[in-house]
Structure 1
């Protein structure tokens, strides 16, 4: 797929925590390096849409 197609990856964890998620920190750095090369990163902040909808449904009943 390299330079031939798109790939979307989502995570609840920032790159700074990937060292504790992967078996070792070297693997985390290698994975992050390959994912962000020629890539775009954006971070969404704010209340979860699912949480907001669940609150509305709960208060309506």
Structure 2
């Protein structure tokens, strides 16, 4: 039985633990749950003119398939 308290670990401690205990599935799930629970801002705003370039690149990729 695993008696490690993942909730008491900082993000960096949990990541380091996970990297050294790769077979610990509970640590993996704790790490992923923690990551998924965080709000992440979009890297680009909806009104950013760069969207036109992004859409053009996507469309070019779609057209080439």
TM-score, normalization by structure 1: 0.31
Which structure has the larger Rg? 2
Higher relative contact order at CA 8 Å, sep ≥6: structure 1 or structure 2?
2
Structure with the bigger percentage of helix: 2
